[in-house]
Structure 1
Amino acid sequence: MRIALCQFTAGTDPEDNLRTMDALAERAAREGARLAVFPEAAMARFGIPLGPVAQPLDGPWADGVRDMARRHGLTVVAGMFTPSPDGRVTNTLLATGPDGETSYDKIHLYDAFGFSESDTVAPGTKVVTIDVDGVRVGLATCYDVRFPELFRAHADAGAMLSVLPASWGAGPGKLAHWDLLTRARALDATVWLAAVGQAPPGPGADIQQPTKAPTGIGHSVLVGPDGRIREEAGEAPELIVADVDVAEVERVRRAVAVLDNRRL
């Protein structure tokens, strides 16, 4: 299956971000992609009040994503914010395309490194997968990458690929964390992992300097089920289109049967 990692810098205007996404989706479709993955908070970046920009899944922004997927003939996964019944918002992935639609609410909230996502965001509770061209794909978001159980749950549900939209926080050592964790989650669940981050805001941004909100460090990455990086972006906005060999998952699982060998 051919997939597109659509790394860009989201702004504060959901409609502007939707136009940027549409241009990337058009390019991805021209290059034969069947799945286009956008970052967490593609709707609107972190660091602004999220309540005023949140929309329900039947709202105009989500409809714009559906229209994009329909016009370009591919499945789109994109991060947005939806209203939560408790007055907070939910950090939601919308996955929509020719094979159907689902949504995933981020389970593990980023209460770390001085940021408290749970103050304004309600957690999800359900493991979610979607089938794209006959390939089962698990959905996860950013801080989820620190929790291997979720990715093993994807594998247990039949996933061959997990996607991880993110808006990774900048700071000392954070790129090393990103590299280690994305490779580890692919390897310990023996799945392909497409981790798509926000590009950092503004030219010349120093990803070693912490920011008040997690606004991205770039370095979107496609990792094989053996833990090896196959494709990696830099810090600037970038589109990567690459092929995922589903048969490789089975080969790796025969060689390193960590899922079958679990005891806990």
Structure 2
Amino acid sequence: MRASLIQIAVDPDESPNSRRARVTSLVAGQRGVADLVILPELWPVGAFAYESFEAEAEPLTGPTHQAMAKAAADAGVWLHAGSIVERAPDGALYNTALVFSPSGDLVASYRKIHRFGFDKGEATMMAAGDELVTVPLPGLPLGVATCYDLRFPELFRGLVDAGALAFAIPAGWPARRRDHWTLLARARAVENQAYVLACSTAGSHAGVPQAGHSLVVDPWGEVLAEAGEAEETLTVDLDPAKVTTTRTQFPALKDRVLATPPPRP
């Protein structure tokens, strides 16, 4: 399987509608190049553009869904379309990832479980998801996580238990914590013996410079490709057999202890 990560530059002077049209063209350009395409987190509005969340929120089947469904079908690819600010029927906002099949059907959506911001921003404006999501890509079941989720290894253990051999992690990761981005992506790959496809944004969100440096990590923790700071597309061949081989030759997952006795008083 060949995967392309499109590291989109978010420019505050570019409207969400204009960016949707531009990204649609970028995805269409992957026809005949990739089997799987991954976009970053909240690229229509910007992950740190909190003041725009209410105005730019859309239903699950809103304009981003429509544009990306067509893009997936036109390119004939599995498309992880990053995430949107979803407005649920009850009015709640969610950071929601959308995954489309090569025919343009929405096959999965994932509401981000771990919201960033502590006592402000996303953490206070958005509701939390509560379901783990995997996508049955042919030969390479894909676990779905988003940005801040990367800091919580138990989520990825749950995805492994659900059969994931690879993780797609769209993000809007800030430049000032770029070292954490790379370190955590490699850690999730090593501890779960799975591919990590981590797609971040370039540019700036509401004055917050973005890290860029999208990367693909193999099940042994080796970085197969890494982007720079500008808009860029990474294209990498993935071998599902490498996950099986790694887990067989170094069967650390078999030694997991799911619970330990409490400490003695």
Shared fold per TM-score greater than 0.5? yes
Determine helix, strand or coil for the equivalent of 2:70: helix
Aligned with 1:41: secondary structure?
A: coil
TM-aligned CA deviation for residue 213 of structure 1: 6.7
Alpha carbons 1:2, 1:242 under 8 Å: kept: yes
Q: Secondary structure at the match of 1:217?
A: coil
Q: Are the structure 2 counterparts of residues 224 and 230 from structure 1 closer, same or farther at C-alpha, using a change threshold of 3 Å?
A: same
Work out the CA distance in 2 between the residues paired with 1:116 and 1:59: 23
What residue in structure 1 maps to residue 262 of structure 2?
none
CA distance in 2, matches of 1:117, 1:143: 11
In structure 2, the partner of 1:234 is 228
**Cα deviation 1:46-70 (Å, max 9, x = unaligned):** 3232011111112232111101111
Q: Which moved more, 1:252-261 or 1:181-190?
A: 252-261
Report how many aligned residue pairs link the two structures. Answer: 251
1:247 aligns with 2:249: no
Partner of residue 263, structure 2: none
Deviation of residue 212 (structure 1)? Answer: 6.7
* Deviations, residues 168-204 of structure 1 (Å, cap 9, x unaligned): 0232xx1111111000001111110000000133xxx
Asked if 2 retains the 8 angstrom alpha-carbon contact of 1:199 and 1:237, the reply is yes
Superposition deviation, residue 116 in structure 1: 3.7
AA aligned to 2:35 is R
Q: Deviations over 1:90-135 (max 9, x none)?
A: 00100011375110010011135x8542111111100001122342
Q: Percent identity?
A: 35
Match of 2:261 in 1: none
Matches within 5 A, 1:113-124: 116-124=121-129
**Where do residues 1-264 of structure 1 align in structure 2 (5 Å cutoff)?**
1-11=1-11, 13-31=15-33, 33-45=34-46, 46-47=48-49, 48-78=51-81, 79-84=83-88, 87-98=91-102, 101-112=107-118, 116-171=121-176, 174-201=177-204, 216-264=210-258
Q: 1:212 to 1:56 in 2, by over 3 A?
A: closer
Give secondary structure in 2 for the equivalent of 1:218: coil
Contact preservation (8 Å) 1:167, 1:215: no
Structure 1 residues 35, 77: CA separation in 2 closer, same or farther (over 3 Å shift)?
same
Cα offset for 1:88?
Answer: 4.1
CA RMSD between the two structures: 1.9
Aligned-partner Cα distance in 1 for 2:87–2:244: 40
Report SS of the residue matched to 1:153. Answer: helix
1:29 and 1:215, CA in 2 relative to 1: closer, same or farther beyond 3 A? farther
**Contact kept? 1:3, 1:241, Cα under 8 Å:** yes
CA distance, structure 1, for counterparts of residue 96 and residue 166 of structure 2? 19
Letter in 2 for 1:90: Y
Q: 2: distance between equivalents of 1:16 and 1:156?
A: 40
TM-score by length of 1: 0.89
Residues 224 and 21 of structure 1: is their aligned pair in 2 closer, same or farther, counting only changes over 3 Å? same
Which of these two proteins has the greater Rg computed from alpha carbons? 2
Q: Secondary structure at the match of 1:82?
A: strand
TM-score of the pair, normalised by structure 2: 0.88
- The answer (yes or no) to whether the contact 1:17–1:44 under 8 Å persists in 2 is no
**Cα deviation, residue 256, structure 1:** 2.5
